[in-house]
Chain A
Amino acid sequence: MAAQEVRDADLRVDGVAKRYGAVVALGGVSLSVAAGEFLTILGPSGSGKTTLLKVVAGFEFPDAGRVTVGGADITDVSPAKRNIGMVFQNYALFPHMSVARNIAFPLQMRGVPKSEIDRRVIQAMALVELQGYGERLPSQLSGGQQQRVALARAVVFDPTLLLLDEPFGALDRKLRESMQLEVRRLQRRLGLTTVFITHDQEEALVLSDRIAVMDGGAIRQIGAPDEIYDRPADDFVAQFIGESNLLVGEIAAPDRVVLDGGTSVTVRGLDGGHGRVRLLVRPEKMAIDSATNRFTGTIVEAVYLGEAHKLRVKVAEGVELLVRGHRAVPTGARVTVGFAPEDAHVIRGAG
């Protein structure tokens, strides 16, 4: 799936490549982010996410490609002149400066008059709910508070772009969720064009207007969260986001696929093609006692998740299906599971 063109693009990355010795960190990445959009870059460790962000921020010079912000080419502009707010993975707060001085730093660098600096620092601290913490040193703050200082410092100077590199990596789950909401609220309120990095797929689905899935220095797919989840471009994306059942087979008729195990299933969306395909069926689309595309097997694992039950059903030697539903079924029980023809997403050209 090609990156669709975004009209009114605020950030545009064009064919950016970067290698470190023999390691290709970025192999010609292109993407556009619209003004005010929240784009998340999602990918496994070492996929090049940080490198891409560093190129945009100006900390790394790309071997090839251009970076444009608001129509102006900034590839050769020094980081100090880019006016981009960035939150680092470890926050990078200045340990020898108080909270207020940390937040004042970008304003001082811009020669803002003292009285206005004071006013804007107070405003920024209120924005992230840190009133009264101005005189503390970063080491006297909790992880979540440090995170908020980093955020305030990154937005206080009205940047044209906000970059966040796995900002919640070090926080516990509860704090993480409240910070996610806070960042999103702040971003909407300030209308900031934002690029956010994470390797947490849930976080990506919750926060983003669009998600770019990266692997091996390339973007595999870029699109809205539901598009990525429901219609992944390839099995890497399918398996990286959410849980999935991938069924491999061969197209036999305009609406039929014969799976490698010999079972024949009915699906939509084959569009008269032929050859080998993979069918992606999400666990929540698998149903017990389905009317169509039935498989019979034994439950090998049943996990209660609170809001649902997760079942692992062995339907053939080496073939297990994941089912997510509301019925509690004990391990060892024989069940029939299946899916509706419209609930399978077809991935083409699968080996």
Chain B
Amino acid sequence: MTPADRVRRRAVGSAIVLSVPAVLLLLALFAVPLLRLLALSVEGGSLVAYQRALTNELYLRVIFETFKIAAVVTLLTLALGYPVAYVMATSGRVWQLVGIAFVLLPFWTSILVRTYAWMVMLGRNGVVNRTLIGWGVIDSPLPLLNNLAGVLIGMVHVLLPYMILPVFNAVKKVDPNLVLAAEGLGAPRWRAFLRVTLPLTMNGVAAGVTLVFTLSLGFFITPALLGGGRVVMIANLIEEQVRELLNWAFAGALSAILLALTLAAFWGISRIARTRSA
């Protein structure tokens, strides 16, 4: 064993010791309730709840809708977040700090508060509609609340930082000389971006996509408040089963399905990302 090995081993040892409290906390607050929920879903050793969830067309529709919304939200945050992250990462220090502050600011506000704020903004007489009518862009108010549009706006807003931060990080890591080199070798700006910056930031994109997509799958408050009951995602379904029908077994089965789908999505995205970057 070389001294370097010894140092490394000691570092690993202390890392294990230091992580004990966090592991205990996770076990108590996360693993135990999860296991209890799973136990509930197979109450009496029967898989009836799963059968019901996976065969009833209504529930399958909700699962499909949930994935569709998560996919659309992910694409929208990517389309909106990448340019923001890119501009932030390539501008001067001051603007970078201002940008990060603006991205992080919403983090310090409760998601509930932000969602209520959107209700005020998006209503028939909300700020958005009144402004657009005031400017003469539209004649009658746009339906932005209690529908899919409202849910998408709210979710994109909440999830945007999860896309911006990893992409920002990835763009910052790209050596600016590489872009200069590409331009010097004959690539116009946009081609240098496509051939150098974009591929080198795919790991950040993958991280952002994974975060946003998997977080979207479990969204509850935003669809509940901005969807007006017309947009139902899995989490809303689970809540309804527990709160109104007290059907713990079915809620447990739905939760297990959501967990399985989330893990599958996570695995799928990271696989794609790995083959893309290889």
Contacts and interface: CB of A to CB of B under 8 A. Distances in A.
B187 A109 contact: yes
B175 interface: yes
B236 to A, nearest CB: 42
B191 A79 contact: no
A92 B181 contact: yes
Given A95-B200, A96-B199, A96-B277, A84 B182 contact: no
B52 interface: no
Contacts of B183: 58-59, 78-80
A87 B273 CA distance: 31
Interface in A15-36: none
A76 to B, nearest CB: 15
A118 B181 CA distance: 21
Contacts of B39: none
A331 B272 CA distance: 72
**Residue with the greatest number of chain A CB neighbours at <10 A, chosen from B180, B185, B191:** B185
B181 A88 contact: yes
Interface residues on A, range: 20 to 34
A240 interface: no
A168 interface: no
Interface residues of B, number: 19
B199 A88 contact: no
Contacts of B199: 96
A96 B174 CA distance: 11
Given A86-B181, A105-B195, A92 B187 contact: no
A82 B186 CA distance: 8
A268 interface: no
B134 interface: no
Given A88-B177, A92-B175, A92-B177, A109 B184 contact: no
Interface string A160-187: 0000000000000000000000000000
Interface string A75-116: 000111111111010101011100000000110011000000
A61 interface: no
A237 interface: no
Given A95-B200, A96-B199, A109-B191, A90 B177 contact: yes
A12 interface: no
A110 B200 contact: no
Contacts of B196: 94
A95 B177 CA distance: 12
A85 B185 CA distance: 7
**Residue with the greatest number of chain A CB neighbours at <10 A, chosen from B184, B195, B196:** B184
A41 interface: no
Contact of B182 (A78, A94, A95): A94
Contact of B180 (A85, A92, A96): A92
Contacts of A96: 199-200, 277
A153 interface: yes
A295 interface: no
A59 B186 contact: no
B184 A105 contact: no
B188 interface: yes
B275 to A, nearest CB: 13
A59 B200 contact: no
A98 to B, nearest CB: 12
A157 interface: yes
A119 to B, nearest CB: 18
Contacts of A109: 185-187, 191
Interface string B258-278: 000000000000000000010
Interface in B164-216: 175, 177-178, 180-189, 191, 195-196, 199-200
Given A58-B183, A80-B183, 12 more contacts: A59-B183, A59-B184, A78-B188, A80-B187, A83-B186, A88-B180, A90-B175, A92-B178, A95-B178, A105-B182, A106-B185, A106-B186
14 contacts: A57-B180, A79-B184, A80-B184, A82-B184, A88-B180, A88-B181, A90-B177, A92-B175, A92-B178, A94-B181, A96-B200, A96-B277, A109-B185, A153-B185
The list of the 8 closest CB pairs from A to B, nearest first, reads A109-B186, A92-B181, A106-B185, A92-B177, A79-B183, A109-B187, A86-B184, A79-B184
